[in-house]
Structure 1
Amino acid sequence: MTTRRPPDQRTVAEVMTTDLLTVTAEETVPMAWELMCRARVHHLPVVDGGGRCLGVVDAATLTATWEPSSPLGARRAVTTLLPRRGPMCVRPEATLAQAAAAMLAVERDYVTVIGEHGELVGLVTARDLVAALAGVPGPDRTRGSCTPSMYRIEPVLPERRRHTAPHSAVPPD
């Protein structure tokens, strides 16, 4: 039986989410919204080609800035929603208190976790901190890697078919 250390002695690495859904800077706002809805997440890190975090789009910002007025406005890049200054970052060895202080400093409910080369390795949210404080076990850390997942969804339209008679299990003569 393992005992958990008190929250003031725990590190960010112990509570951070490592299996992240991320998008690239070129992704559109509607696609970010669709991904967040389908994955049931409230935070979507935006990364560059090298895996460095440019910022995080959160559900509150996305819904507050939604502009369905024109097709071009709706198709704007997700980077238009990012704060002007880069994301607040902590290292995996930071304490939970340091992560909480970083969140308070930028008035956000999340902080990104970066590796030694500046690459995104995780995300800590206010929910993660509350769970750690309550002693609620986090997700299973043994199942995956620390590399954020990169997904790209593109619409696929069905092939145009000629109008034919309904399909039959019997082949034509």
Structure 2
Amino acid sequence: MAAEHVVIDLDEHGHEPAERSGIVRWNVANRRKVLLPLVAAFVIGVVLGGVGVGELRDSRAERERSTVVSLVALPESGFSGGFNSRGTVLLNGQLTLINTGPAPITIRGVQAERPGVQVRSMGQARQVRPGGTGQIPVDLQLECATAFELEPLSVRFSVETEDKRLREVRYPVALVGSAWEEDALRLCEPRLDS
């Protein structure tokens, strides 16, 4: 028997069985129908995710902005004063507060203490808008001999921020050359009538 050589011509098309050719066409068409919605869902997910991340970032920045406390405090003249025989002056004064932060704040309390100096708020809360000023009344107790050092007085403020949380903030207030020093020294001078 003679060996038969089988030659396959690769240039010829369309000699596949009919069933197999239909399955291949169906799979390609089906893949396109399934792939298109998947790509669209992916693109929509990326867009929505980007928007969501942007909104989350904006929300976080807004929350952080509402918690920032930045202020400046300046001593203002006392309204009345008295003299104590032990060399202590009692004054009712005020602090002018400037809100240099980005959100409104409410000053709930003021307190400072060091040898020769005591400062306490009179219990009146003050709201100060961003860039705005407000005054808060304080009681001062100043010893004539020791109150006015060159080092600023560290004043502690109890501040309620826009998110309704209380925070403690410190600010250095210079007493030397202030209206408080002028009022106290006037009362500390020895009296001629005594």
TM bucket (normalised to shorter chain) is under 0.3
TM-score (norm 2): 0.23
What TM-score, normalized to structure 1?
0.25
Greater Cα radius of gyration, structure 1 or 2: 2
Q: Which has the higher strand share?
A: 2
Greater RCO, 1 or 2 (C-alpha within 8 Å, sep 6+) = 1
